[in-house]
Structure 1
Amino acid sequence: MKNLKTLLFITLLSSSLCLTAQNKDTKKADKEFARFEYVDAAESYKKLIDKGDGSSYVYGQLAECYYNIFNSVEAEKWYAKALESGDDPEMIFKYSEMLKANGKYEESNQQMEKFASMRPSDNRATAFRKNPNYLPKILEQGKKFNVQDAGFNTAQSDFGGVVQNGKLYITSARNDNRKTYGWNEEPFLDIYTLTKNSDGSYQEATLMNDKINTRHHEGLVSFSPDGETMYFSRESYYEKDYEKDSISKVRYSQLYLFKATKLGNDFDNVESLSINSENYSVKNPSVSADGSTLYFASDMPGGFGKYDIYKAPINSDGTIGDPVNLGQKVNTEAQEMFPFISSNNTLYFSSNGHLGLGGMDVFYTKEIDGKLAPVRNVGIPISSNGDDFAFTIDEEAEEGFVSSNREGGQGSDDVYAFKKLQPLCDVLIMATVLDDKTREPVNGASVTLYDAEGNKVVTKATNEEGVAEFIVECEQDTELEVVMEDFESKKVPVKGSNEEELAVQISLDPIEKIVTPEAIVLNPIYFDFDKSNITAKAAFELDKLVQVMNKYPELVINATSHTDSRGSESYNQRLSQRRAKSTQQYVISKGIDKSRISAEGKGESDLKVKCGSSCTDEEHQQNRRSEFLIVGGAPQNQK
């Protein structure tokens, strides 16, 4: 993928390389491929095809060239040709990625189904089988951010975006004084700083000193909380650690992590970290807000995929402890990179192994009570069908940066500034409404979502499966109210959760055919002290009354309203009349003819609880009520 190219932060793996020439005819192209010269290699492989070499090997290598420079259209074309006579699972997975990057979601899913059948235990396969219709959910979840070009991109690769002490640090190939690298003919990468103007624009980027930048690649940076220590990536060529392939004559370097300490206004005293090894790469540093933990990506042995995300303690003396793999909840058989741990300990990272939109998407999770919450896709427009990586955010200011090679940019990779518009973490509540007697789904039931303060949020009707879906913010308590003709209404509290999906089953009791008037249960409603307005709880009970009156059109009701014993008798009489009137008006507002409900205020003359001056608040509440009596049109025995 192209973002991997810009960082050189991937050691090319045997699954996507063949360092030994397939035959003497492919030797030149294979050598260019092994040297990461994908543009030249692609031309050489195409010449072989023009000469009649239509082998699956050549098609596959050509597809890999375009895959590595993220030419998704050409990669799709040649993967399709290679797979006409081959069935390599990893190639099928990459083909699926390219189809998805080109917006061919249905075809991509077909290839993922094929991949899943070949590797059923692969995490990528099990995630897809569990949620094959994931794409609409990611698209619907999106647009929680406003994303704009950061304003300082060039025609070369620019990526990153870490703010420290008023300076923005990025990585860029804009230095024309550096020699170019064969992968894409761009200069080697350096670290730059930019200063923001008062109008929001940025001043010209400044190259960091030669203690930080060398003639080799340097990459993303992160800082200790006090800003005195900077961690960054660099090629191991600087340490003279590399291997030379005997066939291709290519020198293979690893990526190492370094730290530099502040000296005056600049950084110096560069040291290689103890977790570096000539046998694998470590890269993409991110320091936790308390400075105690270093997160990074590595292809060290023992991981789950090509690159995994690890964390390691930063000891009090500045040394780094033993790395710990974040496990299969985060890491897949593909690649997870570019970790960023935010101030509220949310871990953001990029992956092409979790379910996404194509290429590398941005995902996030958070440790809660010692366990990682489900990994979620940030969604559009942060994630796109290109490669999206190097996500950073200031959680307090709700703004940050993300890098991408999406269409419409200035160069091969660009930095985008974003502003968060809505809370990121959410839960899909799937409410299923059933008939309590038959256990059949109830179609067309009205389901209303209320927030923790009792405010109505939205109302939806259940579908043929009895399901209504709502998206709410994580860890927020809510309540669902279900209303359906011929059923008793019901309210169900929903505890806040961090799960990606939460299933809630609600069983409604049918309103039975009634034998006698006494069998109709009409619950009273209650009023706040010295108030006559209908509360949300009272409205819920009155809606039940309306349901019964709709079911039995001849039914006539008398509502009597009461007060507690506080206040004068005359005042209480007037207050009860107001309560009776508001009760009656609510029922009429729901479509019940006014001739079918009368209302009478009884003041304090008929106390439910006679407790005098020693009444508790609860006892006073029981007296502040409206009650209902059937006075006409009672249903007869209908059995």
Structure 2
Amino acid sequence: MKKIFITAGLLLSFLSGYSQNKNTEKADKLFQGYEYVNASEEYLKLVKSKKADGYVYKQLADSYYNVFNMEEASKWYSKAVESKQDAETYYRYAQTLRTLGKYSEANKQMDKFASMASSDKRAKDHKANPNYIPSLTSNDKLFDVFDTKINSKDQADFGAVLSNDNTLYFVSSRNTGKKTDKWIDQPYLDIYQSTRSEDGTLSEPKAVSDLNTAYHDGPLTMSADGNTIYFARDSHSEGSYQKDTKNNVKVGQQGIYKATKVNGNWTNIQALPINSTKYSVGNPSLSKDGKTLYFASNMPGGKGETDIWKISINNNSYGKPENLGSKVNTSGRETFPCIADDNVLYFASSGRQGLGGLDIFKLDLNDKDAEVLNLGKPVNTEKDDFSFSLNLTKNVGYFSSNRTGKDNIYLAVPVCGVEAVAVVKDKKTGKILADAKVSILDSKNNVIATKQSNASGEVSYKVECNTEYVLQASKNDYDPATSNIAKTKSGKISVSLDLQPVEVVVTDREVLLDNIYFEYNKSNITAQGAKELDKLVKVLNTNPLMKIFVKAHTDTNGGADYNLKLSDQRAQSTVQYVISKGVSKDRISGKGFGFTELKVNCKPCTEEQDAQNRRSEFLIVKD
């Protein structure tokens, strides 16, 4: 089943009564050339000469926003919104306030944004839960996430379900059949299986030929004994469809089918009576006792694009479909239900507060007062995360995500209750350091979460049993420090993280900094980038005759012209940030080089090679 989304565009332009004019011509030209510091100076002249209006205040705020000066950005956004502005300005103002920890004020600006752009998903999310951001940070991590080795290189893989006999079933478009789904121009989905060994490794997947047709088949769910399955299938396979004469296509629907295992083969395939040529039913999940089947459908009577429903099962008799109601379903899209053996329902939703796209949620059906809970990171990301299944007998789960650009299957391991506590201190003085950032990393140095140390210099994390971790502390003007967390079964582990005052490496050729990261397709400076660039500012202040040339590079993904332009914008934003910190503009310049000067010459490139090519260099200019 292919996920299809229709995203409504947001109209961001509203007449404010203020606009560009001859007074702003010079400042506007600088702003459009990404010279944000000079632009802000020109806009400030207009403020001082009392020639500023709502447009000038907005442009001034945006200039500071782009170089991560949130204090000044907040100041001028507050002036800008005294007059009518476009919706995005209120959104950016809210973002600056959140960065400054002013959640209550940020919510007021989000209220205005939501009233102007009511159809925007960000607006809907805010209305549903205006305190979302501060509450999300208090959520404990529920699962650790790991890659699996069964994903195909270019095709979609999702819908993984682990049976009690260690067979992992999933669906994939990796098949080599000649038929393709004309709607999405991709191969049809087939059901595959892999055997999971005791150490968690998976065997080479093979197609389940008994269940596959020339059209879409899967995902599936199975009974506790593994001898009965329910699976989704395209109605084209049995010649059931409606003709769309206008577009000259045959429109099929997803249906749910039952199969039983006889002598190791799947046989006696039967369509469920809930199937229809007018709507789809799919993504089935069977309760432990085999008496309730949960599924997703866009059948009449739902609350959104697709809802989660259930039917009762009594041998070969099926009850009437029952909508799970507003506690689960929204006006958005709820899909991929999974009912675990402990009667906790997991499902994906685009209609609830999440990190982006589809997020995975859970609801304890044993507790009538329970609330729907977002699984949080690292299961959920800014991309689509869905198709979560959990085998409590094996204590492992699987889910799917397009976080790398295509649908892949990931392993989710429940986190148990070990507490790791870090105390952050100044290595030279022994002084307790509050407000230091302490990250917890996995054994491959992937950052899982980050918190700030309290007034006692402490940070605590609940971590998984019998697993190694790394704690890493960082603070402005200090080098990071790390400490390993050894495997333990339970209890509390305490470590000390002593930070050495920062000493940036300066060679005779360049100033060495960590990579400066930017948001996707953007060039404004982020918090991470600001932290690294502050080190450069310190070096320049210590060496008043030093001059720097910034070279910004990209990887080879995307077009040459696009990458050249984006890298140049990022180089200019980097330069502008340093200038905004008081460094003379004749001491730093920059240029984008796209992928014309690769550090690793590769085609195609691995993710690691791409990461090496995405870099900024800070060269010392010789007079």
Report the TM-score when normalising by structure 1.
Answer: 0.47
* Larger-Rg structure: 1
TM-score w.r.t. the length of structure 2 is: 0.49
